Chain A
Amino acid sequence: MDPECSQLLPALCAVLADPRQPMADDTCLEKLLDWFKTITEAGSSLLLLQENPCLVELLCHMLKPQDLSSRVLSFSLRLTGVFAAQEDCFQYLQQGELLPRLFGEAGPLGGAAWTAPTVRSGWIQGLRSLARHPSALHFLADCGAVDTIFSLQGDSSLFVASAAGQLLVHILGLSMQGPADGPPSLQAGDWPACAKKIVGHIEESLRSTATPQITQALNVLTTTFGHCHDPWTRVLWVRLSPLVAGLLEKDPVPAAHSLVDLLLSVARPQALRAQAFAVLLQPLACVLKATAQAPGASGVLDGTVGDFATVDTLLPSKAACVGLLCRTLAHLELLLPLPQRPCPWPQAPLLGAAVTLLQLCQGSASPTSDTGHHLCALLLGCVRVQRAALDFLGTLSQGTGPPELVTEVFAVLLEYLRSPDSSPTVLKKAFQATFRWLLSSPKTPGCWDLDPQALLFLRELLPVLQKRLCSPCWEVRDSGLEFLTQMTGRWGGQAGFRHALLASEVPKLTEQLLRDPESYVRASAVAATGQLSSQGLCISPASPEHPGGQQKSPLSELLHILSTDSEGFPRRAAMHVFTQWLRDSHADVVGDTEEFVAGVLQVASQDLDWEVRAQGLELALVFLEQTLGQPGSPCPYAVTPPVVAPACPLAQALQPLCRVRLFEFAFRALFDCDRPVAQKSCDLLLFLRAKMASSSSPQEARSSPDVASVEAALQRWQAGDQAQPLGDLEPEVVLAVLKSMDLEGLRGALAESSDHVEKSPQSLLQDMLATVGILGENEADCY
């Protein structure tokens, strides 16, 4: 604990102990407790109590008969538990008889305060915290706490009752872990007294005729078997199962729900998982069965559904049907990538079910049964199911499927992409699923190009994409462009794809969408143009098709957007593209890299959007790395930038950076009012300084007048006056300035979150004191 807090603590304890100073806000107490938990987890509780005697005083104060607030009392009980969790501290508190007096009959337990549920809850939680070591077990047995816990199981407050049950489970578990001399024997007769007592109580409850008691016992057992799989639990089950079986024979079965929960928790996990999976598959099995052309077509799922009556029960109304199917699909989607997913995974039937569902929603399925017709009517045009099924279908692309089913998958995807009735969200999902299936389509060995089937599909897809790019709905244009960007990124270098794309109107439409009225679409068009241009798929400014066309090159188009677009998204997208182009040594950039970088940085530095400025620093870093010849991530397969490590002195190597005014940009960003920008700039300059240190640069320009004037200018910048430019900087000056700057300190300051002061424990203590007016200034008002 830091000294400032230690100083404040006595005053706070005094406030807490003073019944005239009510704590208005109990979230403060929670925060305080959290703080103490952090402290005790990191260090010794005993030491803490010894260094801050006010804490023990506070706890002792609770024992005096007085009108204390139940909140503070509850807090103190919990706090005691937190301290007593460490055995030495437990002993320390035991010496003062503090624990028995707080938790025993003499404490709040017997008093009027016990009527407040919060006190009872505090009592339980306190015990829960301290029950961590064998000493605690003896203590619990001695002070009769276990009997109190039994009675609290039926408490009028549900929170208290439930916590009491949990505490019993915890104590049982703790006592069965046994003392240091090894675990207790598996013979139930040899179990520790505490465990015997609890088990005896459970047995008694199970024999009881009162349902609430049976329920309590069953809940304790369910939690026990659910959380712990130690060998002793099996012994416990063997001992108790006749009693549980006895319950099953009663008519009516008492506490049926709790009994089911218990039986589920003791069932063997693997068997249970298979059953759970079968239940999960049931709705899809219904769908397949209702639409199957021939019986048995649903394959593995077949066994999970009995007859059409099941369908009627499971999927009676539209709301029920849609809700159930969506949940099923979502669960299966989550399950698919997990290692513990059921094996064998019924990939083909699931694929069939997803396709069938999509067809039902679209009205293109041809159901053979009345149930199928009924399902069709329920699902027709249902956007929720369409979205869920498309997501699921996309996930299924990780596995394979029979070729005829895969053909069906592509057919249904195309149907969705084509359909004028597909809503924008559905369409987006359809695009995503299509991309995933194209990714998983079989590859020709040694070739990354799309296989002939996929290419045929692509030829049908491109006209659809073309139309979607002209949609009146901006979301559709946007998702169309995103899809194009993904596709180009993946297959832009492959001949088949290039040929199909260039034969379509898509590149031209993309160029036109750079002037879309919707900023999101412009942003996506920028990204797509960037990708197309990287792959050389942009329509050239003066192609034979557009003789004398006034079209600008993609670079100047995007620069124009960066400097003039009124919205942030397209400008951010342009910066991303530029950074990527620089990284990939894009043809338009390589021509005159310095001019490109200088131009972009100049525009970016004036941008009002901090993300644009931050991205500017990213671009600067890429340029820096390329100039200084050290790629950020040394990857053996990366395209080597044309600039190789300079053999020349560092100052000379910095010349290009000075020419593009990179340092002016970086220094300005260093004092940016937006923290992420400043942090990024700081990292960049630190990287440069590290570089400087590693190279043996003999030049020293420490005392040059230029350095002084630059430092002076930077100080003004830091103070907020950024009007004056730095002018042309010499590499030597830059190096000198960098050396003299406290960049580490700046980074530390920037790393702290802006609310780090408000979140400190000191601030918490001060706040709590301030609310009751202890901190001084208000005292004068007290006459």
Chain B
Amino acid sequence: MKLYCLSGHPTLPCNVLKFKSTTIMLDCGLDMTSTLNFLPLPLVQSPRLSNLPGWSLKDGNAFLDKELKECSGHVFVDSVPEFCLPETELIDLSTVDVILISNYHCMMALPYITEHTGFTGTVYATEPTVQIGRLLMEELVNFIERVPKAQSASLWKNKDIQRLLPSPLKDAVEVSTWRRCYTMQEVNSALSKIQLVGYSQKIELFGAVQVTPLSSGYALGSSNWIIQSHYEKVSYVSGSSLLTTHPQPMDQASLKNSDVLILTGLTQIPTANPDGMVGEFCSNLALTVRNGGNVLVPCYPSGVIYDLLECLYQYIDSAGLSNIPFYFISPVANSSLEFSQIFAEWLCHNKQTKVYLPEPPFPHAELIQTNKLKHYPSLHGDFSSDFRQPCVVFTGHPSLRFGDVVHFMELWGKSSLNTVIFTEPDFSYLEALAPYQPLAMKCIYCPIDTRLNFIQVSKLLKEVQPLHVVCPEQYTQPPPAQSHRMDLMVDCQPPAMSYRRAEVLALPFKRRYEKIEIMPELADALVPMEIKPGISLATVSAVLHTKDNKHVLQPPPRPAQPTGGKKRKRASDDIPDCKVLKPLLSGSIPVEQFVQTLEKHGFSDIKVEDTAKGHIVLLQEAETLIQIEEDSTHIICDNDEMLRVRLRDLVLKFLQKF
């Protein structure tokens, strides 16, 4: 059993598990932090961005000034943003049988894999994962395609040139494999390969293993996966949450008794408690708006935004913010808000019960109804006529490199009355802000990550007790910035095995058993014999039939009919010869009685010697030895077959046959 690790990002995993005869890809995350090296794509022409000076080498050489621009001491690539794909060279991805998706954030690299590697298998995911994943991809493609960029920078990627660049460009890894965003066509094609599954549904893969998605409590439709054969069980834990937010709670019990538990997708900000952060978010929002400033919340169009809107729903009246407009701008804003309301069966219990009242499960329906929350596909069109300040704007992309957020950063960045509040933990907010410097607006970092923290992980591992834990190497040591926090790492016994990008792990367990079925008529013919109380044995002669990784014992073909016609004879030619079955022997030979029997049968001059392993009965007259040991009996006589057969028959008298 092997694990191929294709991604180095612990929360955007992409691993391939070889288990029995199957090759299973676990998640397909896309590392988008690479886009932080690029200049933002402004939706509206930005004189500031277009007038940034080109970057030149220390010696004044300016051959890169078309590709690289400088802003407040940082250098950015002036090109269409590119993404860092999962490793494609480590394993032939066309051999992947299935891809299991655990949540919509972990499928963003799917089009790259399904459309460009010769992949012919099936992708499994829950319905909300697919639908919201589609929205995220659609938004991404839309953000990038609607700002066409004439040039595509590639000079800087040259290894010799990259070495000369300032950090972080100099240290960016595998820049040659970075790719531009996929197209909507590729998205559609990739999504068409997905087969929908429900929680606890058992899916047979070629009869070899069974895979089952379990609720993971992190997002709508998010799952952990169980991959099991009859005698082995691997659990794959991806983004999971034990907090009570909107999704169905996490199913922990089904993870018990795993041989291996692959642990990924823990919280990225283990020191920030989501509750505290939500409070912080609300306080800062109110503080800004009360001072007449605007609040910008860069976010994904689904996920935490639902919880934030719910908190604000409860908070705005009490904070006297009822007259402040909330805007949600995304090409998929409408679909996201509406989708959230129709996936009732994937929601937590409280929200499910609302559906039967019937009421919309999320209160943002009421915010929309009362005109407190308005949503727009883009800042062009209706939005510009409705726009009123001070206001709160939720919009993407959290990287601040593309999407409507770029415009608001340019618009509001100059006033210290305004605030940008970062809630998504995926990007370093300082790096995200770098191309907007100098910036007057206030920046607040309130990362809200509801995924498991290390305390919860340690409780979970105690509860489910896997034999082995496998996790990204980042989880086996404290974060570099807090090296004294020994509590911020996975602590289990035996210690977790760690992996890093482009590494192949041999998982530490051997398969020892395989299940074989016996056909009923064959089973019927068995004659068990009790060897010891409670243990019976039976010999079985059968043909082992293996198909689709299932093993079946079938009755052996009947021996050829002696009077058969030509046709039959021919048929019997095909089947292998069936030798006459020799009986199996068991039991032990009591030496004294055996000697007596020999004497009764006319042998005399018998001598018995004890050896380390048993006895030697010596027939001196016949110059013959009978060597009796625990697990064998040998008759050694000199070319006297008659004598040997006689002695053999005497030995057999003492043994059981079956």
Instruction: Give A contacts to B, CB under 8 Å.
Output: 363, 365-367, 373, 376-377, 380-381, 419-422, 466-468, 470-474, 476, 505, 508-509, 512, 515-518
Q: Tell whether A468 pairs with B283 under 8 Å between CB atoms, given A363-B271, A419-B276, A518-B318.
A: yes
Contact B287 A505 (CB under 8 A): yes
* Interchain Cβ contacts under 8 Å between A and B, 15 examples: A363-B271, A363-B485, A373-B486, A376-B485, A376-B487, A421-B276, A422-B276, A471-B282, A472-B318, A473-B279, A505-B287, A508-B290, A509-B287, A509-B290, A517-B318
Known: A363-B271, A420-B272, A505-B291. A472 touches B486 (CB 8 A): no
Tell me whether B282 and A470 are in contact (CB under 8 A).
yes
Cβ contacts under 8 Å, A377 to chain B: 486-487
Q: Are B282 and A472 in contact (CB under 8 A)?
A: yes
Which A residues are in CB contact (< 8 Å) with B446? 420
> Interface residue count for B (Cβ, 8 Å)?
28
Q: Chain A's nearest CB lies how many Å from the CB of B481?
A: 12
- Nearest to A365 among chain B residues (CB) is B484
Q: Given the complex, which residues of A lie within 8 Å of B203, measured CB to CB? A: none
Q: Which of A420, A471, A472, A515 contacts B320 (CB 8 A)?
A: A515
Given that A363-B485, A505-B291, A509-B290 are contacting pairs, would A420 and B276 also be in contact in the complex, using a CB cutoff of 8 Å? Answer: yes
CB pair A470 B287 closer than 8 Å: yes
B125 at the interface (CB under 8 A from A): no
In the bound assembly, the distance between CA atoms of A419 and B284 in angstroms comes to: 13
Complex CA gap A340/B566 in Å reads 119
* A419-B272 Cα distance, complex, nearest whole Å: 9
Expressed in whole angstroms, the Cα–Cα distance for A366 and B482 within the complex equals 9
- What are the nearest 7 A-B pairs in CB distance? A420-B276, A470-B286, A420-B280, A421-B276, A470-B283, A472-B282, A373-B486
Give every chain B residue within 8 A of A380 (Cβ-Cβ): 487
Q: What is the minimal beta-carbon distance from B291 to any residue of chain A, in angstroms?
A: 6
Inter-chain contact B273/A421, CB cutoff 8 Å: yes
User: How many CB-defined contacts (below 8 Å) exist between A and B?
Assistant: 71
Q: Does B386 contact A (CB under 8 A)?
A: no
Chain B residues near A367 (CB, 8 Å)? 484
**B284 surroundings in chain A (CB, below 8 A):** 467, 470
The reply to whether B279 and A366 form a contact with Cβ atoms under 8 Å apart is: no
Instruction: List chain B positions with a Cβ less than 8 A from chain A.
Output: 271-273, 276-280, 282-284, 286-287, 290-291, 311, 314-315, 317-320, 446, 482, 484-487
A467 touching B287 in the complex, CB below 8 Å, given contacts A377-B486, A421-B276: yes
CA distance A517 to B319 in the complex (A): 8
Q: Give bound CA distance, A419 to B277, whole Å.
A: 9
List the A residue with the shortest CB-CB distance to B491. Answer: A377
> Does A471 contact B484, Cβ atoms closer than 8 Å?
no
B320 touches A512 (CB 8 A): yes
B278 to chain A: which residues have CB within 8 Å? 472
Known: A363-B485, A517-B318. 16 other contacts (CB 8 A): A367-B484, A373-B484, A377-B486, A419-B276, A420-B273, A420-B279, A467-B280, A467-B283, A467-B284, A470-B319, A472-B282, A472-B314, A472-B315, A472-B318, A509-B290, A512-B320
In the bound complex, what is the Cα–Cα distance between A363 and B291 (angstroms)? 33
A512 touches B290 (CB 8 A): yes
Residues of B within 8 A of A468 (CB): 283
| Nearest CB in chain B: distance from A425 CB, A | 14
Nearest Cβ distance between residue A543 and chain B, in whole angstroms?
14
> Which residues from chain A contact B271 at a C-beta distance below 8 Å?
363
* A516–B320 CA distance with the chains assembled, in angstroms: 8
Main secondary structure of the interface of A (DSSP, over half): loop
The CA-CA distance from A419 to B446 in the complex, in Å, is 11
Alpha-carbon distance A59/B319, docked complex (angstroms): 74
Kindly list chain B residues whose C-beta atoms are within 8 Å of the C-beta of A505. 287, 290-291
> Contact at A466–B311, with CB atoms within 8 Å?
no
Instruction: Provide the residues of chain A in CB contact with B486, threshold 8 Å.
Output: 373, 376-377
Q: Complex Cα distance A470/B312, Å? A: 13
Q: How far is the CA of A470 from the CA of B288 in the complex (A)?
A: 10
Residues of B within 8 A of A516 (CB): 318
Assess the B279–A471 pair: CB atoms within 8 A.
yes
B453 to chain A, nearest CB (A): 10
What residue in chain A is nearest B478 (Cβ atoms)? A373
CB of B484 within 8 A of CB of A366, answer yes
Residue of A373, A377, A476, A515 with highest tally of chain B CB at under 10 A: A377
Which chain B residue lies CB-closest to A367?
B484
From A373, A472, A518, B279 is in contact (CB under 8 Å) with A472
Min C-beta distance of B267 to chain A, whole Å:
14
A422 to B317, CA, bound (A): 24
Query: Whole-angstrom distance between the alpha carbons of A381 and B485 in the complex?
Result: 13
- CB-based nearest B residue for A518: B318
CA separation between A363 and B361, bound complex, in Å?
Answer: 37
A512 / chain B contacts, CB cutoff of 8 Å: 290, 320
Query: A369 to chain B: closest CB distance in Å?
Result: 11
Query: What residue in chain A is nearest B319 (Cβ atoms)?
Result: A470
For the complex, what is the distance from the CA of A474 to the CA of B314, rounded to whole Å? 13
Which of the listed residues A373, A422, A471, A518 has the most CB atoms from chain B within 10 Å of its own CB?
A471
- Report the minimal beta-carbon distance from B406 to chain A, rounded to whole angstroms: 28
Contacting residues, chain B, for A515 (C-beta < 8 A): 320
Give CA–CA (A422, B291) in the complex, Å. Answer: 25
Give A515 to B484 CA distance when docked, in angstroms: 46
B185 to chain A, nearest CB (A): 44
Measured CB to CB, the nearest residue on chain A to B270 is A363
Given the complex, which residues of A lie within 8 Å of B319, measured CB to CB? 470, 472
List residues of chain B with CB within 8 A of the CB of A467: 280, 283-284, 287
Distance to closest chain A CB from B323 (angstroms): 13
A736 CB, min distance to chain B CBs, angstroms:
54
CB distance from B316 to the nearest CB of A (A): 10
CB neighbours of A471 from chain B (8 A): 279, 282-283
- B315 partner residues in chain A, CB cutoff 8 A: 472
Chain B residues contacting A419 (CB-CB under 8 Å) are 276
Distance in Å: Cβ of A413 to nearest Cβ of chain B: 18
How many whole Å from A440's CB to the nearest CB in chain B? Answer: 29
Residue of B whose beta carbon sits closest to that of A467: B283
Within the complex, the shortest CB–CB distance from A365 to chain B, in Å, comes to: 8
> Which residues of B are found within 8 Å of A473, using beta-carbon distances?
279
Which partner residue on chain B sits nearest A468 by CB separation?
Answer: B283
Q: Which residues of B contact A518 (CB under 8 A)?
A: 318
**Within the complex, what minimum Cβ distance (angstroms) separates A555 from chain B?**
22
A420 surroundings in chain B (CB, below 8 A): 272-273, 276-277, 279-280, 446
A421 to B278, CA, bound (A): 10
A365 to B486, CA, bound (A): 12
Give, as a whole number of angstroms, the nearest-CB distance from B309 to chain A. 14
Chain B residue nearest to A366 in the complex (CB): B484
CB distance from A549 to the nearest CB of B (A): 12
Residue of B nearest to A376 (CB): B487
| A residues less than 8 Å from B286 (CB atoms) | 470
Bound-state CA distance A516–B317 (Å) is 9
> Across the interface, do A517 and B317 meet the contact criterion of CB distance under 8 Å?
yes
**Which residues of B sit under 8 angstroms from A381, Cβ to Cβ?**
273
Chain A residues with CB under 8 A of B273: 381, 420-421
Please measure, in the bound complex, the distance between the C-alpha atom of A518 and the C-alpha atom of B290, giving whole angstroms: 18
Residue of A nearest to B287 (CB): A470
Residue of B nearest to A378 (CB): B487
Report the minimum CB–CB distance from A630 to chain B (whole Å): 46
By a CB distance below 8 angstroms, the chain B residues around A421 are: 272-273, 276
- Of all chain B residues, which has the CB nearest A515? B320
Complex Cα distance A472/B284, Å? 10
Which residues from chain B contact A466 at a C-beta distance below 8 Å? Answer: 287
Cα–Cα, bound, A367→B486 (Å): 10
Which residues does chain B contribute within 8 Å of A509, judged by CB atoms? 287, 290
Kindly provide the distance from the CB of A472 to the nearest chain B CB, expressed in whole angstroms. Answer: 4
Give chain A residues whose Cβ lies under 8 Å from the Cβ of B484. Answer: 365-367, 373, 376
Closest to B284 in A: A467
Min C-beta distance of B168 to chain A, whole Å: 28
In the bound assembly, the distance between CA atoms of A625 and B279 in angstroms comes to 48
Q: How far is the CA of A377 from the CA of B489 in the complex (A)?
A: 11
A718 CB → nearest B CB, Å: 45
Bound complex: CA A294 to CA B73 (Å): 41
For residue B312, give the distance in angstroms from its CB to the closest CB of chain A: 9
Return chain A residues, CB-CB under 8 Å to B280. Answer: 420, 467
